[in-house]
Amino acid sequence: MAASQVESAHGDTSNASKLLGVPLELLSFKQADLGRIEKARLHSGQLLQNKKSIGELNLRTKVHFNNMDFVLSTTFKEFRSSHISGALSLIGFMQRNNSDALQNIINRYSSQFLFPVRILSND
């Protein structure tokens, strides 16, 4: 979700970073120090996860804007309720501004994981 926010903001990570409560780093593929397999996984739309130490998780995904691909990276040192709240805020932002992008994310996660992902509305 942060990737869609950063893409729609043309590379500005500040809003998504503030909502999630973690620093987001945007790097070119050359700067990101990735191996061939990692690059291929990112280009195919996969999320890279790397456990760095106990309770610390690094996440990387591809974002695309200005006709270029970038790597969006963050490290969670511990999960808090503010991260969940930030994710819900990002979902609301996406629903208001680009419901197609949100539907694409739902479709992608529903196909990658064994549980369905749906957005329910009071309407």
Tens digit of each residue's pLDDT (9 = 90 or more) over 92-118: 666 666 667 667 766 766 666 666 666
For β-strands 25-28 and 48-53, DSSP reports them as: unpaired
Residue 70 belongs to a domain: yes
> What's residue 36's pLDDT?
92
Residue 39 lies in a domain: yes
Q: Find the domain containing 75 and state its range.
A: 2-112
The pTM score is 0.65
Q: Where residue 37 falls among pLDDT bands split at 50, 70, 90?
A: very high
Residues 6+ apart with CB under 8 A from 61: 3, 42, 47, 48, 71, 72
Question: What six digits make up the tokens of 109?
Answer: 């996660």
pLDDT tens, 39-59?
A: 998 888 887 888 877 777 788
15 sits in which H/E element: helix 14-20
Task: Assess if residue 117 is contained within a domain.
Answer: no
* Residue 61 bridge partners (DSSP): 72
What's the structural domain count of the chain? Answer: 1
Q: Is 120 contained in some domain?
A: no
Assess if residue 121 is contained within a domain.
Answer: no
In a domain, 25, yes or no: yes
Q: Crossing angle, helix 81-97 and helix 99-112, to 10 degrees? A: 130
User: Residue 118 domain-assigned?
Assistant: no
